Amino acid sequence: EELIELTRVAGEYGGVYFTHMRNESHAVLDAIREAITIGEAAGVPVHIYHLKVAGQDNWPLMTEALALIDSARAGGMDVTADIYPYIRNGIGLGSFLHPRHYAEGTDAFLTMLSDSELRGRLRQEVESTSDWENWYRHVGMDWNNVLIVATSDSVDPNVINRSIVGAAEVLGTDPWNAFFDLVQAGGVSVNPQSMNEEQKWQALRADFVMIDTDASPVNPATTASSHPRAFGAFPRVIAKYVREDSVLTLEDAVRRMSSLAAHRLGLYTRGVVAPGMIADLVVFDEGELRDEADFGADAMQYALGVDYLLVNGTLVIDDGQLMESRPGRLLKRTGSR
């Protein structure tokens, strides 16, 4: 009820209900229904952020998820979604334990994690329950599918870019104790392989799905990136889903990364090449454009094949070389079409 009232106020100013849904795995269908209900009750468009279905047991639910959105759209609602073009997501390693354990405070819980009996009970819970977003089950109950990408300073840096199994070898212990040790140390980020390519293909074929990075801008000279999507998301769509897999045409891929996204955000003077539009333009070699960023040590690699880039009409990349100009600015919605 509170979300409906808040969303209704946003709607008075032309807003959209952007939702990071309550669940993206076993209860994803209920989460989509909830998002649609909120938007419908408030009379506001709905946008579902990084639509996905995590967990091997849940992958078939993508078909029903897309059907739910299609049904709402057929009924007159304005519902859209976006995806990122990777089958690994990014989360903190502590998320592999049930959230109720953190109810009394993270520090208090982590202090207790040294207890071997508690570790045994937690392991049993993780291995045997599925009524929560159990990421261990989402990766097929295989620690090899969990890649460590960042840690706190107190952790041996040699575990970075290794799976939990590989980290256990570095730490001289078994995978479960390595997991608990790393959770207790805090600050560990991981990329679990929780999705499959088929659901990406399904989502990309839906007219209402656009592309996102789910990443903030990163300066490779000063900041670490825990996921290659910060550098490679958009080039990857063309390299993989257009050129290699033939899931999309080039024109449709460009639409999903330009006009469809811009108009969802109310940026009606952007995303289209036409007289009077703002010149945000990229010139690339269709046969050469590709993402170089990968999981692990190569997460911060610039894409290849971009010849020229204009932002707000100013050259930022000239003949493949990055310029010193920084013409970017905060964007605000420009009203309705």
CA distances from 307 to 174, 273, 281, 283, 310 (A): 48, 18, 11, 6, 10
Report CA 306 to chain centroid distance, whole Å.
Answer: 23
Largest CA distance in the chain: 69
Average pLDDT over residues 201-223: 88
At residue 107, what is the residue type?
Answer: D
Q: Where are the domains of the chain?
A: 91-192, 213-337
Which is nearest to 191 in space by CA: 163, 223, 222, 220?
163
Give the Cα separation of 185 and 155 in Å (integer). Answer: 7
> What's the confidence (pLDDT) of residue 334?
81
Average pLDDT over residues 5-15: 95
At residue 127, what is the residue type?
Answer: E
DSSP character at residue 163: B
167-176, 192-201, 226-235: least confident range: 226-235
Assign 337 a pLDDT band (cuts: 50, 70, 90).
Answer: low
Q: Is 149:93 a contact under the CB 8 Å cutoff?
A: no
Give the Cα separation of 329 and 183 in Å (integer). Answer: 38
Assign 219 a pLDDT band (cuts: 50, 70, 90).
Answer: confident
CA distances from 31 to 20, 52, 171, 323 (A): 10, 12, 39, 44
Which is nearest to 204 in space by CA: 75, 87, 118, 35?
87
Length in residues, the chain = 337
Helix runs in 43-84, H state only: 61-74
Residue 3 β-bridge partners: none
> What's the confidence (pLDDT) of residue 234?
97
pLDDT tens, residue by residue, 237-284: 999 999 999 999 999 999 999 999 999 999 999 999 999 999 999 999
Assign 299 a pLDDT band (cuts: 50, 70, 90).
Answer: confident
Q: What are phi and psi of 126, to 5 degrees?
A: -65, -40
* Secondary structure E strands in 130-233: 146-150, 189-192, 209-211
According to DSSP, the β-strands at 189-192 and 146-150 are: antiparallel
Q: What are phi and psi of 18, to 5 degrees?
A: -90, 125
**Per-residue tokens: 285:** 């070699």
> Angle, to 10 degrees, between the axis of helix 61-74 and the axis of helix 197-204?
10
> What's the confidence (pLDDT) of residue 335?
64
Residue 266, Ramachandran bin (φ over 0: left; ψ between -120 and 50: alpha; else beta): left
Q: Is 53:62 a contact under the CB 8 Å cutoff?
A: yes
Average pLDDT over residues 179-195: 96
pLDDT tens, residue by residue, 89-143: 999 999 999 999 999 999 999 999 999 999 999 999 999 999 899 999 999 999 9
